[in-house]
Homo-oligomer: A and B are copies of this chain.
Amino acid sequence: MVEFGDMVDHFGFTLMKTFKQRYLISDKHWRKDGGSILFYTGNEGDIVWFCNNTGFMWDVAEELKAMLVFAEHRYYGESLPFGASSFKDSRHLNFLTSEQALADFAELIKHLKRTIPGAENQPVIALGGSYGGMLAAWFRMKYPHVVVGALAASAPIWQFEDLVPCEAFMKIVTTDFWKSSPGCPESIRRSWGAINRLSTAKGGLQWLTETLRLCDPLTSSDIRRLKDWISETWVNLAMVDYPYASDFLQPLPAWPIQVVCQYLKDPNVSDSLLLQNIFQALNVYYNYSGQAKCLNISETTTSNLGSLGWSYQACTEIVMPFCTNGIDDMFEPHLWNLKEFSDDCFKQWGVRPRPSWITTMYGGKNISSHSNIVFSNGELDPWSGGGVTKDITDTLVAITISEGAHHLDLRANNDFSYSGIFATVALPVRNLAFFCSISLCFQALEPSLAVHGNKERRESLSQPCT
């Protein structure tokens, strides 16, 4: 049994239990002399999958002589504190928090610096996207002695309480569809009523099941779930509206919203034709590979994401208010109702959210005393609505990527479109590594690269993430 043993509970001393935290490491381009460490603060999913979708780190590794480390977030992938029982009940889930995850990262970096000769005095830069980007930013804020800086890609650190309007997110989704053609969001907006009418018409449920090629027959109690599933599909498309064919949440063509909207240009059609068009659009997202026999309304994304763990986190500290009004956006009107949300959480997990805790802990908009964080956001990305999109100080810098979707900048450099993004984002990262290695940090380099300890769970990568 090999493992890096991180404490299950960093913030209490009764539970004296460790767990195996998985991390990936590549030292192919690493140099003891003048090198650096790029540390991916893993988010809500399998770390191999994030590694495979973070080509940026591989692209800059040689120039920065960087060791690459991808750390898996506790309760995701294979890093389960209580193995198969980790999600059993709220007692087992009690240690799934961002604070515990950051402490894991800090302990892991201390461990690496202690055990890899030459690493001890090198600068470490945190990188992450989405929730991982929030963690990268928070890591620099709370552990500035561990990381010299952070690239927080598409990190909605302000999607809490009333720091940003709760409708911002869905408005951006809507705008993304509107850019392809104004009829597209209008078709979607009208589709909800069409579904309501069809589902209550005689034979309508069966017709909908067949038209949308659903795996399971719809009953009238499924209609809410059906509409939520369709809504989430549009949201996901906005997140992954990349300029080249990609396979992040699903295999997709370049600019997938344009492809989807080809079917939804004309909103002025009958209910039944509208829903046939909606099917064509959904089919782009769920069946671009042509392998799907039917569509399953219980799934919207890759199984690499840990939706169970995320649901718990959303029910405790990562409480993000969303709302729609059906006018400025293409969705059915929906108010943010904390009471209802809290009751649902209590039913599902036996816990209640503390919506103001993240602001207490991480400062909300009052973060100007921190330093060395690059906040990058894609203009198309709905999460940019909760992100830092303007410079706060000289060292808290915002980068906006026009026509960029969700953490596009973390993806591998791509000839078809985006070498400009690479340069823009790589520059501050390069500066962090460079300035630290010449001034803030002291290079006391050891003579040789020793054999790595084998007490840790570790996957050395010769090729990216395999």
Contacts and interface: CB of A to CB of B under 8 A. Distances in A.
Greatest chain B CB density within 10 A among A12, A144, A354, A363 is at A12
Interface string A1-45: 000000100111110100000000000000000000000000000
B13 A11 contact: no
Contacts of A100: 11
A14 B351 contact: yes
A99 interface: yes
A448 B369 CA distance: 31
A97 to B, nearest CB: 6
Interface in A41-87: none
A324 interface: no
Contacts of A94: 12-14
Interface string A144-185: 111000000000000000000000000000000000000000
A360 to B, nearest CB: 5
B352 A16 contact: yes
Interface stretch (A102-110, A302-310, A417-425): A102-110
A366 B364 CA distance: 25
A97 B350 CA distance: 25
A144 B370 contact: yes
A363 B146 CA distance: 8
Nearest to A368: B440
Given A369-B371, A371-B369, A144 B363 contact: yes
B12 A106 contact: no
A351 B16 contact: yes
Greatest chain B CB density within 10 A among A13, A103, A363 is at A13
A316 B9 CA distance: 13
A364 to B, nearest CB: 7
A363 B95 contact: no
A90 interface: yes
A408 to B, nearest CB: 30
Chain A interface residue number, banded: 35 or more
A317 B364 CA distance: 28
Contacts of A360: 103, 106-107, 110, 146
A189 interface: no
B352 A144 contact: no
Contacts of A14: 90-91, 93-94, 350-351
A145 B364 contact: yes
A288 B363 CA distance: 50
A145 B142 CA distance: 12
A341 interface: no
B99 A11 contact: yes
Interface in A84-142: 90-91, 93-95, 97, 99-100, 103, 106-107, 110, 142
A373 to B, nearest CB: 12
Contacts of A372: 369
A351 B143 CA distance: 26
Contacts of A361: 103, 106
A367 interface: yes
Contacts of A95: 12
A4 to B, nearest CB: 14
Interface string A340-377: 00000000001110101100110110111111100000
A90 B110 CA distance: 28
Interface string A312-335: 000011000000000000000000
A366 B121 CA distance: 12
B316 A13 contact: yes
Given A13-B354, A110-B360, A145-B369, 14 more contacts: A7-B354, A11-B97, A11-B99, A11-B100, A13-B93, A13-B94, A13-B316, A14-B90, A14-B91, A106-B360, A107-B360, A144-B363, A144-B370, A368-B440
